Structure 1
Amino acid sequence: MPETASNLPLRGLRVLDFAQFLAGPVAALRLSDLGAEVIKIERPQGGDLCRSMVVNDQRLEGDSLVFHTFNRGKKSVAADLKQPADLEKIRALVATADVMIHNFRPGVMERIGLGYDTVRDLNPRIVYGAVSGYGTTGPWRDKPGQDLLVQSLSGIAWLSGNANDGPVPTGFAMLDVATAGNLVQGILACLVRRGISGKGGLVEVDLLSSAIDVTFEQFTCFLNDNEQQPRRHETGNANPYQPAPYGLYQASDGWFAFAMTPLAKVAELLGSAEIGAFPQAQAFSHLNEIKRIVAAICATKPVQHWLDILEPAGIWCAPVLDWPGFVKTDGFAALDPVQTIRTPSGAAARTTRCPIRLDGQALHNSAPAPLLGADTAAVFDSLQTARA
């Protein structure tokens, strides 16, 4: 547990994590970071599928680095929910829980006997969190809810990249992480309500709704623009609804970002009469032409040359860093965002910490993900002790 475990706001809460892969486990991870006891319920044969997931050969003496990333600091109970005896033990555990999270497809938990209505009868105070890909109704409800697939279906992949590129998805599971955040918000809201009314609640989130939500600025523009597909810029596209020069530009030795800036100021700082000939009102209607001029000028000098001109003038700009460059910066060091966990086998792995600070203190938790079923006996024995 973290060094500040005794002071964390969710200390004393019990969370049952039935989820696999990313959105559900990340939500449970954040609750653990904030002090909750999180018990991961896994299949006895193999457990969470992430235990066997290896990305770029990243293993820790036989363990999956991905699994530790999503599940550090949790406990593990192995139970076969298809076996009546195991299911009965889990039902008894549900009766002691404050929060329950799952990401089975719609209808699966009902068939198992752990749907919301059943669980609410067992424990009226429980907050029940359910994650799906596309919601519980409609023709897509049974499609696989995977991040890249939802980015593709939701139109997100057509927002990034330049006009002549194909669709460009994000290079990380953006929607899983966003959905996890939405789930945590809903759970915490229900816990606050429970403190007033004594009753729990049902929190349902899905990746497709998260896709719409994270693009709400651009999607609102789309809805109010006769539902016309946004036109990506031919050069330096970063947001199809932002006028020139907004975007990324290649200098002679790298790239930098150029945010919102009046055209007259751009023309002055870049020394371009061509740009100065465009009125500010044409910053959007002639954006591709303006951005081509900006790009040609920026390509002639190094990144630092342009930053030295733009930043003193109050222009919002920044170098485009890769990760090796980013981790060497003073900004990265000031956040101190990395912590080391040590796996049950003794291997050390560096990972990120919780991004939240409480009472001025960053939250660290060096505990690894658990071995499959490591806490089964202790957790079930505690139920027997409580009954006695």
Structure 2
Amino acid sequence: MMGLPLQGLLVLEFSQYLSAPSAGLRLADLGARVIKIERPRTGDAGRKLAIKNLWVDDSSLLFHTINRNKESITADLNSEEDRALLLKLIAKTDVVLHNYRPGVMEKKGFGFETLKTVNPRLIYAEISGYGKKGPWKNKPGQDLLLQSITGLTHTTGNGQQAPVPFGIAIADILCGAQLVQGVLAALIRRQKTGKGALIELSLMESLLDFQFELLTTYYTNGQQPSRSDRNNGHPLLGAPYGLYATADGHIALAMMDISALAKAISCEPLKKFAKDLVFSSRDEIKAILAKHLATETSSHWLEHLHAAGLWAMEVLDWKTMRDHAGYKSLRMEQEVKTANGSMTTTRCPIRINGQRLFASAPAPALGQHNEKVKNELLTH
């Protein structure tokens, strides 16, 4: 695609693992030139963070997923020669990203206060685990730990279960997306004022913001969210909200009028429940529904529910989803060619003027672009 909105933007990514690299990925998808600054010999620690022991070339599949469409140079932040080269590069840079613990970049001489004297227009965007102050500031900022400490694990699963974590790195990916929002806002301001900015996020603040609906309720009434004992879908919503087994799979029921539901699926026992009982009698209603819905197939129930205009969908696994015309019409997949093969991954979900954003360049080998960057950006 020609004319991507961030073409001409130079981003240096002093980042590892997932959170800040996911921000770099999105900026690259939108046209920015993103250069990873990696440690000599070892590189980004994410190169060795394997999921299901899957590897592409010499790095983990996870690394390739989150670092496609970037370049890599190696630099030792303890080396005076390398530091001088980086500062020269930073003078030409638009955005610096990092997700090191508080104080690390400052100790190496690459904190915001230092770099803004080198480049007053620099957007300096950083992610920490818990912020720069407080008793948790130096704790490891790992996704599962953040889900646990922010109360998020008490929102999923059923009422009698132990806390249940999300099955994805929700803190990392969400925080990376919010970092991009901050960077884009700062770039717009810089266009008006000529001044750079310091953008700060933490995984903890991102997950707290993610729960604003639940936390606002808790701040108001002081009560912990109450999960359904069965078929839980949302701790603050009444019946029927949740997932239900059918004769051949599962369906999801969203918010709907209980009497309209009873009529649509011909469930006589549901008709006695008035609207004001959908929360206080939530588990009783769900038990009746679960028994009734198990008697017919998913397609049978969805036909009746959709005919009545009620919000319901089939629960799909990835194989079934991938075979569905609804998924295929989105063209979400792209092929990325690597040094020794290829991999299929998702594309950027954003469309611009009707055009999907595909970026098929693979993740870089460690230090792959050392000479290229020196020749293009550091020789003049």
2:279 maps to 1:284: yes
Q: Distance in 1 between matches of 2:360 and 2:105?
A: 33
Q: Are positions 1:382 and 2:376 aligned together? A: yes
Q: Is 1:352 equivalent to 2:318 in the alignment?
A: no
2:363 to 345, 348, 369: 369
Equivalent residues of 2:89, 2:378 under 8 A apart: no
* Other-structure match for 1:209: 205
> Higher mean Cα deviation, 143-152 or 210-219?
210-219
Cα displacement string for residues 28-74 of structure 1 (whole angstroms, at most 9, x for unaligned residues): 11111111110100000210111122211212243321111111111
Cα distance in 2 for partners of 1:181, 1:55 equals 22
RMSD: 1.1
State the 1:360 CA deviation. Answer: 0.7
Match of 2:95 among 99, 123, 130: 99
- Select the residue among 165, 171, 174 that pairs with 1:178: 174
CA distance in 2, matches of 1:248, 1:222: 25
Q: Which residue of the other structure, out of 224, 241, 250, is the alignment partner of 1:246?
A: 241
Give the counterpart letter for 2:91 in structure 1.
A
- 1:39 aligned counterpart, secondary structure: strand
- Find the aligned partners of 1:379 and 1:321 in 2 and give their Cα distance: 45
Aligned partners of 2:128, 2:95: CA distance in 1, in Å? 17
Deviations 1:313-355 (A, max 9, x none): 0000001100011101111101000001111x23110011111
Partner of 1:325: 320
Q: How does 1:1-388 map to 2 (within 5 A)?
A: 4=1, 6-225=2-221, 227-343=222-338, 345-386=339-380
* Contact 2:239-2:279 within 8 A present in 1 as well: yes
TM-score normalised over the length of structure 2? 0.98
Q: Any idea what the Cα deviations from partners look like across 1:52-102, whole Å, max 9, x if unmatched?
A: 222112122433211111111111110000111111111111111000000
Structure 2 distance, partners of 1:292, 1:385, is: 71
8 Å Cα contact 2:85/2:378 also seen in 1: no
> What is the DSSP-based 3-state SS (H/G/I as helix, E as strand, rest coil) of the residue aligned with 2:251?
strand
After superposition, give the CA deviation of every residue in 1:231-288 in whole Å (9 maximum; x if it has no partner): 1001110101111111111111111001111111122123233221121111111111
> Aligned partners of 1:384 and 1:275: how far apart in 2?
72
Q: SS of 1:301's equivalent?
A: coil
TM-score, normalised on structure 1? 0.96
Amino acid at match of 1:270: I
Query: Which 10-residue stretch deviates more, 375-384 or 309-318?
Result: 375-384
Counterpart-to-counterpart distance in 1, 2:145 and 2:228: 24
SS where residue 209 of structure 1 aligns? helix
Q: CA deviation at 1:385?
A: 2.6
Ranges in structure 2 where 5+ consecutive residues have no aligned partner:
none
Aligned length: 380
Q: Deviation per CA, 1:167-202, whole angstroms, max 9, x where unpaired?
A: 111111011111011000000000000000000101
Whole-angstrom distance in 1 between the partners of 2:29 and 2:310: 38
Aligned residue identity for 2:39: R
Measure the CA separation in 2 of the matches of 1:104 and 1:80: 15
Is the partner of 1:204 in helix, strand or coil? Answer: strand
Question: What amino acid is the match of 1:207?
Answer: L
